[in-house]
Chains A and B, each alone.
Chain A
């Protein structure tokens, strides 16, 4: 089985978000970038397929040279090869078209992407890739088993989960549950050394439209101070929620 894990290079979850250039750009100043958490769960599941079922695992990202430390981290965790598509990922459809090209040329059986990136939250890349390439697709995937050509996936639904039976070639939009938080791997020194020697192919993007464009960003409005209620007067909270906030 040949697996491609799609990696998005995103600000660390603890990052404070600021905008620059008249609020038209995300301010990367002082921001630490990491593998998108949803992708990291998928990458870790891919490592399981590599170790237990002999799968080959490649990773791909769409991004400039500044994304290479994140890609090298994925190689240090254990991916065999990496591909960087040399373009700024400004639109989900555009990114999906780039990945679809790589997947078509690479003959992958299973494509694991995150359900969404935690920066732009588009949540559309895996579904568009699957549809462009006529592959099966399962979103918000929290469990995946592959047996020959057959796959059993579970997905999170509102208020529960659903088990789905499907087959390869398959694309999933994954999230926590594919593996647990405690299964995530921190690259060790040997992994980091080996990652330096692994293949990282840089390919140029194909022409593709960018049907959406972020024009301006803004931060949420500052919040007023909290209204404190004395712990000995809990009834007052009930009153406030009813007569002031009008939520009960």
Chain B
């Protein structure tokens, strides 16, 4: 038996969450007296997974899987779990993995808990802490099925090094036409820019910015910080910014290290969606804005004066610290 972890890659390179879920799997394996087996799909270099506690890598190389396909990927993981006799499977919270997780759950008749934010409370019974009510609360949830699937929230457990020797084995899964009944036709993705899901820092603008023409300074601030850009719900509803940037309860969740909210008052739905961010900064000219109650740092002031000044100060800081 082993703890199975799916270490996700994009164009052959491991995503940031791959090392976090491997670290998490190592913790579970330690608690249960087992070892960690990672599954990689078309990853370039599997050798560094050993640094995060992986003892064995099942390396899948298959040109049909170059483009993500939820059903086919789920089938690969199901066959790997069977081959390893794995009863605990650790996944990330990426959009792709949240797509394949329920398919895998049904295939394996498993119990699946997503949005998990900490190492298990206990492994017998198996209880994990997860967010619920769109980050307005937490639940401690027991998985009583024979096979347990844990989806770890991005940037919640962290990356921990545990030097282990990882043995890499080739693994091929049997896939048929039925696994490819949904086909990717086109992927439209911004290349070379941080995404809200992966970014360490997210810079977000609200209605206080008065119009889409004023987003230049938000993008410049994001550039200086290597951050992703986001926006509040009214801004996406008004069409000032694309829906994909909407963060909050009905948009994307944010779990970055730093979240900077500019001209966002802080409606309860917005605060719920960004509450997993570790440090929150608010810049708003209204000292009564609810966001000040949820933030770690705040500046009461005109965003059109404060933000350009902040960009300058950050540039000076970067110049001194690189």
Residues of A within 8 A of B (CB): 11, 13-14, 16-17, 19, 26, 37-38, 92-93, 96, 118-128, 130-132, 136-140, 142, 152, 155-167, 175-177, 180-182, 209, 211-220, 223-224, 226-231, 234-235, 237-238, 240-242, 245, 247-248
Question: B244 touching A139 by the CB < 8 A rule?
Answer: no
Q: Which residues of chain A are within 8 angstroms of B196 by Cβ–Cβ distance?
A: 158-159
* Cβ–Cβ < 8 Å partners of A181 in chain B: 233, 237
**B137 contacts A17, CB within 8 Å?**
yes
* A235 to B275 alpha-carbon distance, docked (Å): 25
Complex Cα–Cα for A224 and B196 (A) = 26
Closest Cβ of chain A: how far from B299's Cβ, in Å? 5
Of the A-B pairs whose beta carbons lie under 8 Å apart in the complex, a sample of 28, sorted by A's number, is: A13-B269, A14-B268, A37-B249, A93-B105, A93-B111, A118-B133, A118-B249, A121-B134, A123-B102, A124-B114, A128-B105, A156-B95, A156-B244, A158-B95, A160-B190, A162-B187, A166-B181, A176-B246, A212-B143, A214-B140, A217-B137, A218-B137, A226-B298, A227-B296, A234-B313, A241-B279, A245-B279, A245-B297
Residues of B within 8 A of A (CB): 70-71, 94-96, 98-99, 101-103, 105-107, 109-115, 127, 131-145, 181-190, 193, 195-198, 200-201, 225, 233, 237, 243-244, 246, 249-251, 257-258, 267-269, 275, 278-279, 281-282, 292-302, 305-306, 309-310, 313-314, 316-317, 321
Decide: A214 and B139 in contact? CB cutoff 8 A.
yes
A residues in contact with B99, CB < 8 Å: 127, 139-140, 155
**B66 CB to nearest chain A CB (Å):** 14
* Interface core residue of A121, A159, A217, A229 (most chain B CB under 10 Å): A159
Given A137-B103, A215-B142, check contact A240 B201 (CB 8 Å): no
Are A234 and B250 within 8 A (Cβ)? no
| Given A132-B106, A166-B182, 4 other A-B residues pairs in contact with their CB atoms under 8 A | A160-B188, A237-B310, A238-B310, A247-B278
When distances are taken between beta carbons in the complex, the residues of chain A under 8 Å from B305 are 231
- The complex places the Cα of A127 from the Cα of B102 at a distance, in Å, of 5
- In the complex, the chain B residue whose C-beta lies closest to that of A223 is B294
Instruction: Tell me if A167 and B181 are in contact (CB < 8 A).
Output: yes
Name the contact of A215 in the complex, choosing from B112, B127, B257, B267 (C-beta under 8 A): B127
Give Cα distance in the complex from A14 to B139, angstroms: 20
Main secondary structure of the interface of B (DSSP, over half): mixed
**CA A212 to CA B102, docked complex, whole Å:** 14
A130 vs B297: C-alpha distance in the bound complex, in angstroms?
45
Measured between beta carbons, the chain B residues less than 8 angstroms from A159 are: 189-190, 193, 195-198
Q: List the B side residues contacting A209 at CB < 8 Å.
A: 145
Q: Are A220 and B136 in contact (CB under 8 A)?
A: yes
Query: Are A138 and B182 interface neighbours, CB within 8 A?
Result: yes
Cross-chain contact of B111 among A121, A127, A212 (Cβ < 8 A) = A212
| B151 nearest in chain A by CB position | A123
Q: Are B112's CB and A92's CB within 8 A?
A: yes
Taking the closest CB of chain A, its distance from the CB of B106, in whole angstroms, is 4
Do A212 and B113 touch across chains, with their CB atoms under 8 A apart?
Answer: yes
Which residues of the other chain, A, contact B94 by a CB distance below 8 angstroms?
158
Asked if residues A211 and B115 are in contact (CB atoms below 8 Å), the reply is: no
Bound Cα distance from A157 to B309, whole angstroms: 34
Across the two chains, which residue of chain A brings its CB closest to B309?
A: A234
Please tell me which one of the listed residues A16, A160, A164, A216 contacts residue B182 in the complex, with CB atoms under 8 A apart. Answer: A164
Separation of A240 and B296 alpha carbons in the complex (Å): 10
CB-based contact A131/B141 at 8 Å? no
Q: A124-B114, A131-B102 in contact; A214/B141 too (CB < 8 A)?
A: yes
Chain B residues whose C-beta falls within 8 Å of the C-beta of A211 in the assembled complex: 109-112, 143-145
| Chain B residues within an 8 Å CB radius of A38 | 250
- Bound Cα distance A14, B246 (Å): 17
Give the shortest distance, in Å, between A63 (CB) and chain B (any CB): 17
Nearest Cβ distance between residue A65 and chain B, in whole angstroms? 23
CA of A18 to CA of B3 in the docked complex: distance in angstroms?
35
Query: Chain B residues near A96 (CB, 8 Å)?
Result: 102, 106
Q: Can you name the residue of chain B whose Cβ is closest to the Cβ of A230? A: B299
The interface residues of chain B lying within 8 Å CB-to-CB of A235 are 313, 316
Check B313 against A238 for contact (C-beta < 8 Å).
yes
Contact status A240-B107, CB under 8 Å: no
Judging by beta carbons under 8 Å apart, are B189 and A160 in contact?
A: yes
Instruction: Check A162–B186 contact: CB distance below 8 A.
Output: yes
State how many angstroms separate the Cβ of A154 from the closest Cβ of chain B. Answer: 9
Shortest Cβ distance from residue B54 to the other chain A in the assembled complex, whole angstroms: 23
Do residues B142 and A212 form an inter-chain contact, with CB atoms below 8 A?
yes
Closest to A225 in B: B293
Are A229 and B299 in touch, CB under 8 angstroms? yes
The answer to whether A165 and B182 touch across the interface, beta carbons within 8 angstroms, is yes
Closest chain-B Cβ to A176's Cβ sits at a distance in Å of: 6
Compute how far the CA of A125 lies from the CA of B103 in the bound complex, rounded to whole angstroms: 10
Q: Answer whether A140 and B95 are a contact pair too, CB < 8 Å, given A211-B143, A228-B299.
A: yes
In the complex formed, the residue of A with least CB distance to B237 is: A181
Q: Which B residues lie within 8 Å of A238 (CB)?
A: 310, 313-314, 317
Chain A residues contacting B115 (CB-CB under 8 Å) are 121
